[in-house]
Amino acid sequence: MSGYGGGDQAGDEDRTGAGGGNENGLGIEREYRRRKKPPRRWLLVMAFALGNFVLQVGRHFDALPTWLLACMAVLVLTSVVWVTLFMSRGRTRVGPDGIAVRGAVFERKRSWHDIYDIRVEPTPRGGGPSARRHVTLLYGNDGRRLGLPHLDDWQLDDPHAEVADLLTAAARHRGMTWERRPEVEARIRRRAGHRKAWEHAWIGAIVVLLCMFAVLVALIVVHGEAPVVLLLVCVPLASFAALAALLNWRWESQVPRSLRESEPPPAVRRG
Note the pLDDT tens digit of each residue in 54-70.
766 666 666 667 777 77
pLDDT score at 101 = 94
Strand partners, 172: none
- Express each pLDDT in 128-178 by its tens digit: 554 678 889 999 999 999 999 988 888 888 899 999 999 988 888 887 778
pLDDT score at 83 = 81
17 or 196: which carries more pLDDT confidence?
196
Long-range contacts of 198-202, Cβ-Cβ distance < 8 Å, separation of 24 or more: 198/244, 198/247, 198/248, 200/243, 200/247, 200/254, 201/240, 201/243, 201/244, 201/247, 202/240
pTM: 0.70
Average pLDDT, the chain: 79
